[in-house]
Amino acid sequence: MFANPVHHITFDAQEPYALAQFWSEVTGWPIHPDDLADDPEISLVPGQAGVPGLLFIQVPEGKSVKNRVHLDIQPTTGTRDENVERLLGLGAKIQGDHRREDGTGWVTLTDPEGNELCIERSAAERAGS
């Protein structure tokens, strides 16, 4: 069996620390204790060995096109809809609402710098359907 070779998933960012704070709230992962607010690279530390961290690297240009890769988030606490509302309160914006009348579906959001992410139903919601 091979070890996971992916060390980080990297985001270009104009404000790496602020974006890392948002994603820390999304994932529950802390900012690396050695990273400072004015550092050009900020990383989030996953709580499980073998899971890639998130790395935010400062770049001068803003986001200009749709991401070709994004993260799908399955809440570990609360419902999909509760998590969508929580993230909207943190500065996310709804890009596409794919919720269906039967409770299935997902919501596509953008983070404060415009990167896409999807919020799926939680495992408990899936088990109940």
Angle subtended by helix axes 16-27 and 80-89, to nearest 10: 160
Which residue ranges make up each domain of the chain? 7-60, 70-129
CA torsion sign for 112, 19, 84, 106 is: positive
- The CATH number assigned to the domain with range 70-129 reads 3.10.180.10
Location of structure tokens 């104009």? 14
Higher pLDDT, 47 or 57: 57
Q: Yes or no: is domain 7-60 CATH 3.10.180.10?
A: yes
The arithmetic mean of pLDDT across residues 14-36, rounded, is 97
pTM attached to this predicted model: 0.91
pLDDT digit string (tens) for 32-51?
999 999 999 999 999 888 89
